[in-house]
Amino acid sequence: MDDWPTAKSSAGARPDGVSDETVRGLGKLSEALEFVERARGHLYSLHQLIGGADLALSEAADLLAAAGHDEWAERVRTDLIGLNVLDGRWTFQVVEEFDDGYWSTFRSLERAAREELADGVRHIFEAEMKEQRRTDGAPGHEPVPDSA
pLDDT at 11: 59
Q: Domain count of the chain?
A: 1
| Assigned domain for 24 exists | yes
Question: What does the mean pLDDT of the chain come to?
Answer: 92
The predicted structure's pLDDT at residue 13: 86
In a domain, 10, yes or no: no
For the segment 120-129, the average pLDDT, to the nearest whole number, is: 93
Residue 2 lies in a domain: no
Category of 89 on φ-ψ map: left (φ > 0), alpha (ψ -120 to 50) or beta: beta
User: pTM of the predicted model, to two decimals?
Assistant: 0.82
pLDDT digits (tens, 9 = 90+) for 11-45: 568 999 999 999 999 999 999 999 999 999 999 99
Percentage above 90 pLDDT, the chain: 87
Q: Is residue 1 part of a domain?
A: no
pLDDT at residue 127 is higher than 70: yes
Q: Indicate whether 146 belongs to any domain.
A: no
Residue 138 gets which letter from DSSP? Answer: S
Q: Could you tell me the residue range of the domain that residue 85 belongs to?
A: 20-133
Q: Which pLDDT belongs to residue 77?
A: 98
Residue 95: inside a domain, yes or no? Answer: yes
Residue 123 lies in a domain: yes
Q: Residue 12 carries which DSSP code?
A: T
- Mean pLDDT for 115-128 is 94
- Is 12 part of any domain? no
